Amino acid sequence: MAVCVAVIGKDNSPKYILCLNPNQELQFHYRVHTSLDVVEEKLKATGDRDVRELYIGQLYSTEEHKIFGYVTNTRIKFIVVVESSNTSLRDNEVRMMFRNLHSAYTDVVCNPFYIPGDPITSKNFDNTVRRIMSGN
Amino acid sequence: MSVSKGLVDDVLFEFLHAELVSYVLNSSKDGKKGDVTSLEYIGFSSGYRIIERLTKEWPRFKDELETMKFICTDFWSSIYKKQIDNLRTNHQGVYVLHENSFRFLRKISSGRQYLEAAPKFVAFTCGLIRGALANLGLDCTVTAEIQQMPACKFHIQVQKN
């Protein structure tokens, strides 16, 4: 379903990034990085009722990819990249992906051995992300 | 069944906290008796982590005051099973949380006799509030004031930068 999932910290540093195809990792780093400006923009926009929702919708799309974003109350950003050719993907499926991702992330943070702000190395988190990417 | 289970949970949390206080204070280095810094830090990191879970299903906070209201209601009741009794603010970054019957002081005999023992029972909570707010993006200092147990006031001063 998704081709890349990224977790970006408060200070916009990458905490975790996983791509379906490891050869394209650099390209996805670039895509995720570019999308962060759109995230900031969406967060700044006020007066919109949707702005209070954690899911901030599609950030931008290119010929190959669609990029979706989600920002937690604690300013952690989740970015999911989906192939544009995947037209069957519905909005609530994307929301579901983010919700699962957020649950997995809270589990990581609540682990006393994880120091907040460090890159995520948890195997459990890794497995959950892989499951989300494959679409179950 | 679920009611009695809840009560047991409550007591366990109080025991754990009491034990934490006595362990931390007894294991601190000599000459620094009554040093509550590490208690405060344990509170900080607990608050920092737990807020991630508590705000998961919550819409984004509009402003500072809304964040404080969340601390006084949902955050407080999920930890202390009651809400803060009164919240006051000068709208310039100072917030005072009035707690009429603070859970960690409720079991200590009220009045002034044990007043000097009180700080160690509020240090964890000060850290907890500070940690939660820090993760929500508000750097602040939290102090507690106790005049008559079991009432307690938490002063939150948000650092403007």
| Residue contact B60–A74, C-beta within 8 A | no
Residue closest to B146 by CA, chosen among B105, B109, B90: B105
Predicted pLDDT of residue B7: 65
Q: Do B60 and A53 touch (CB under 8 A)?
A: yes
* The pLDDT of residue A127: 93
ipTM of the prediction: 0.84
Count of other CB atoms within 10 angstroms of residue B148: 11
Q: From CA B146, how far away is CA B66, in angstroms rounded?
A: 26
Q: With an 8 Å Cβ cutoff, is B52 touching chain A? A: yes
Q: What is d(CA B102, CA B105) in angstroms, rounded to the nearest whole number?
A: 5
| Mean pLDDT, chain A, integer | 87
The pLDDT of residue B29: 67
Q: How far is A115 from chain B (nearest CA, A)?
A: 9
Beta strands in B2-139 (DSSP E): 86-89, 94-99
Q: What is the pLDDT of residue B27?
A: 80
**Residue A30 exposed, middle or buried by CB count within 10 Å (0-12, 13-18, 19+):** exposed
Question: Residue A51: what pLDDT?
Answer: 63
Select the residue from B42, B44, B52 to test the A interface by mutation, using most A Cβ atoms within 10 A. B52
Looking at beta carbons, which residues of chain B come within 8 Å of A103? 56
Name which of A16, A4, A3, A2 is nearest A77 in CA terms.
Answer: A16
Q: How far is B112 from chain A (nearest CA, A)?
A: 37
Residues A74, B135: C-beta atoms closer than 8 Å: yes
- Which of A90-104, A107-121, B99-113, B114-128 has the weakest average pLDDT? B99-113
A106 contacts B52? CB cut-off 8 A: yes
Least Cα separation, residue B110 to chain A (angstroms): 35
Judged against a pLDDT cut of 70, whether residue A96 lies above it is answered with: yes
Q: Counting beta carbons within 10 angstroms of the beta carbon of residue A73, is it exposed (0 to 12), middle (13 to 18) or buried (19 or more)?
A: buried
Q: Which residues contact A6 (CB under 8 A, 6 or more apart)?
A: A14, A16, A17, A18, A28, A32, A78, A79, A80, A81
Separation in Å, CA B120 to CA A115, B12, B27, B97: 26, 19, 14, 18
pLDDT digits (tens, 9 = 90+) for B60-77: 888 889 899 999 999 999
Query: How distant is the Cα of A86 from the closest Cα of chain B, in angstroms?
Result: 28
Q: First CA to last CA across chain A, in angstroms?
A: 9
Alpha-carbon gap, residue B64 to B78, rounded angstroms: 20
3-class SS string, A87-101? CCCCHHHHHHHHHHH
Task: Please list every residue in chain A whose beta carbon sits closer than 8 Å to the beta carbon of residue B78.
Answer: none
Q: Identify the pLDDT of residue B125.
A: 93
Looking at residue A7, its pLDDT comes to: 93
Name A63's Cβ contacts closer than 8 Å, sequence gap at least 6.
A84
Say what the pLDDT of residue B2 is: 44
- Please report the pLDDT score of residue B156 as a whole number: 93
State pLDDT tens for residues B103-128.
888 888 777 778 888 888 899 999 99
Q: What pLDDT score was predicted for residue A45?
A: 72
Q: Given this model, what pLDDT does residue B1 score?
A: 38
Taking only the tens place, the pLDDT of each residue in B1-56 is 344 555 677 788 889 999 998 888 888 666 566 678 888 999 999 999 999 999 98
Q: What is the mean pLDDT of residues A52-81?
A: 89
> How large a percentage of chain A has pLDDT more than 90?
38
How far apart CA A79 and CA A17 sit, in angstroms, is 9
- What is the distance between the alpha carbons of residues B45 and A115, in angstroms, rounded to a whole number? 9
First to last CA, chain B: 50
In tens, the pLDDT along A5-27 reads 999 999 989 999 998 888 888 98
